[in-house]
Amino acid sequence: MSPFEILRFALRGLAANKLRSFLTTLGILIGVAAVILLVAFGEGASQGVQQSIQRLGANTLTISASFGGGGGGGGGARQQGGPRTQARQLTLEDARALADPAEAPSVKSVSPVVAAEAAVAVHDGASHALSQLIGTHPSYFEAVNKPVEAGAYFVNDDVLAARKVMVIGRTVAEALFGAVDPVGRQISVSGVPFTVVGVLKESGSSGMQDADDIAIAPLPAVQQSLTGFGPLGSIIVQATGADTTETAQAEVTALLNQRHGITPTGTADYRILNQAALQETVSSTIGTFTALLGAVAAISLLVGGIGITNIMLVTVTERTREIGIRKAIGAPRSAILGQFLVESTVLSLVGGLAGLLVAFVGTRFTVAGIDPVLVPSSIVLALGVSVGIGLFFGSYPANRAAKLRPIQALRHE
């Protein structure tokens, strides 16, 4: 009995019950497609988030004052325990101290930052509520990865002279100037006139916040006109490289502890957000998320497999008499076993390939801002599992049928 013959018998068996074969195939199809699609979406989400974190600037530490016992976010480093000495704000002096290359050799640049609340920018009758107005030093642009597209950054001189100049984001430029080139024009923010010197390159909105709805001006200019010379909102520290962020964090911690008079057992009055650590946390979170999705999909694949077992059990039971007849006229066990195994494998393979096709089509679409990314191993896994299911779950009923004595099978009702 040739394999071709066995395949022919199997196909005939499947064709005898088209609807049932189709539904079984559908079960496997959904399982395979779900595994591949969900893993692809998980991978897409992960890559998307990684990119937007990278866009925030690499190798940076964000230091902010901390009050009360609020938990630090992902990557936030805080010393815990012990009585708190008087909490101090972050000051420009702190920032200057951190910029000392002798004390903190791993620090490349330090940018003190203040943010003005609810600032409204007006130009020539058009007004726009800025979601972020930041006063800082020129090093900020590099640290947070915000290149200008038109015009220029402001320079250290502008900071020293507290000049009222400003670099604006694309959203602000469009809201106030439309198609007109904003460089060299004036914007008044809360009545204070600023000259636009540059427009930031569009960075795209990531998540909730529009990263292009921003205006950046020299620190003293913003303090003078808007926030007053109070404490800093935060200090952005850029490390010299990706591998020195940890060292930089240690140096910064040591310096600030000393300046703020924090004992090793005391609670720090500031916290440091490490971009790299954040990235790690986020990607591990998304990894967990993807694994969960994959598990859900794997369950649906398993359910599909149980569907095949069920169908094969029913098929074999229903056709026990037929098996008896075949054995009575001299069918060897291998032919019976082969026929039913091929039947279940064809079902699961066709279902698997169709599921693969559906997954390929599905990953062409962007859903909820996520660009799915096909993961080859998930394809191999899903297809392998679907064929394995066919063989494994099909072999039980097939084996049971092939082992029957002809007369047992023939007497079956």
Partner 1 sequence: MTAPVLEVRDLVKEYGEGEARVHALRGVSLTVERGDYVAVMGASGSGKSTLMNILGCLDVPSSGRYLIDGTDVGALSEGRLAVLRNRKIGFVFQSFNLIPRMSALANVELPMAYGGVGAPERRARALAALEQVGLADRVRHEPNELSGGQQQRVAVARALVTSPALLLADEPTGNLDTASTGDVLDIFDRLSASGRTIVIITHEDDVAARAKRVIRLVDGRIVEDRRRIPAGGPPPRAASGTGEDTAAGTVAGAAADVEAAG
Report the site for partner 1 in 14-33 (rule: CB under 8 A). Answer: 16
**N- to C-terminal Cα distance for the chain?**
28
Question: What type of residue sits at position 38?
Answer: L
Among 73, 105, 193, 332, which residue interacts with partner 1 (rule: CB under 8 A)? 332
Report the site for partner 1 in 376-405 (rule: CB under 8 A). Answer: 405
Among 88, 374, 406, 412, which residue interacts with partner 1 (rule: CB under 8 A)? 406
Of 157 and 318, nearer to partner 1 (C-beta) is 318
Say if strands 214-218 and 132-136 run parallel, antiparallel, or are unpaired: parallel
Q: Where are the alpha helices (DSSP H) in 122-218?
A: 139-143, 156-160, 170-177
- Name the segment binding partner 1 (CB under 8 A); options: 1-9, 38-46, 125-133, 359-367: 1-9
113 by Cβ neighbours in 10 Å (0-12 / 13-18 / 19+) ranks as: buried
Of 95 and 409, nearer to partner 1 (C-beta) is 409
Find where tokens 């559908």 sit: 26
Site string for partner 1, 85-124 (x = CB under 8 A): ----------------------------------------
Of 80 and 408, nearer to partner 1 (C-beta) is 408
Of 1 and 292, nearer to partner 1 (C-beta) is 1
Query: Does 335 help bind partner 1 (rule: CB under 8 A)?
Result: yes
Of 111 and 315, nearer to partner 1 (C-beta) is 315
What's the closest the beta carbon of residue 344 comes to partner 1, in angstroms? 19
Query: Does 322 help bind partner 1 (rule: CB under 8 A)?
Result: yes
**Mapping DSSP to helix (H, G, I), strand (E, B) and coil, where does residue 352 land?**
helix
Query: Does 1 help bind partner 1 (rule: CB under 8 A)?
Result: yes
What's the closest the beta carbon of residue 26 comes to partner 1, in angstroms? 23
Query: Does 327 help bind partner 1 (rule: CB under 8 A)?
Result: yes
Query: Does 11 help bind partner 1 (rule: CB under 8 A)?
Result: no
- Name the segment binding partner 1 (CB under 8 A); options: 79-87, 245-253, 326-334, 356-364: 326-334
Instruction: Kindly state the helix (H) or strand (E) to which residue 238 belongs, with its residue range.
Output: strand 234-239
Structure tokens at 58: 């690499």
69 C-beta neighbours (distance < 10 Å), count:
9
Residue 386 near residue 351 (C-beta atoms within 8 A): yes
Of 97 and 410, nearer to partner 1 (C-beta) is 410
- Name the segment binding partner 1 (CB under 8 A); options: 199-207, 237-245, 281-289, 323-331: 323-331
Question: Cα torsion for 170, 173, 176, 177, to the nearest 10°?
Answer: -130
Beta bridge mates, 60 = 238
Cα–Cα distance, 60 to 236 (Å, whole number): 7
Q: HSE of 229 in the Cβ direction (CA atoms, 13 Å)?
A: 5
Among 5, 100, 149, 181, which residue interacts with partner 1 (rule: CB under 8 A)? 5
Query: Does 407 help bind partner 1 (rule: CB under 8 A)?
Result: yes
Among 69, 330, 368, 376, which residue interacts with partner 1 (rule: CB under 8 A)? 330
What's the closest the beta carbon of residue 328 comes to partner 1, in angstroms? 6
**Mapping DSSP to helix (H, G, I), strand (E, B) and coil, where does residue 93 land?**
helix
70 by Cβ neighbours in 10 Å (0-12 / 13-18 / 19+) ranks as: exposed
Question: DSSP letter at 117?
Answer: S
Q: Where are the alpha helices (DSSP H) in 197-332?
A: 219-222, 245-259, 275-318, 320-328
Query: Does 128 help bind partner 1 (rule: CB under 8 A)?
Result: no
Cα–Cα distance, 120 to 112 (Å, whole number): 22
Among 59, 326, 351, 363, which residue interacts with partner 1 (rule: CB under 8 A)? 326
Among 325, 358, 374, 391, which residue interacts with partner 1 (rule: CB under 8 A)? 325
Among 68, 329, 376, 377, which residue interacts with partner 1 (rule: CB under 8 A)? 329
Q: How far, in Å, are 200, 209, 394 from residue 204 at the CA level?
A: 11, 10, 52
Q: What is the CA radius of gyration of the chain?
A: 33
Q: HSE of 227 in the Cβ direction (CA atoms, 13 Å)?
A: 22
Query: Does 374 help bind partner 1 (rule: CB under 8 A)?
Result: no
Site string for partner 1, 270-309 (x = CB under 8 A): ----------------------------------------
What's the closest the beta carbon of residue 321 comes to partner 1, in angstroms? 7
Of 4 and 102, nearer to partner 1 (C-beta) is 4
Structure tokens at 63: 């230091």
Binding residues for partner 1, rule: CB under 8 A, are: 1-2, 5, 12, 16, 321-322, 324-333, 335, 405-407, 410
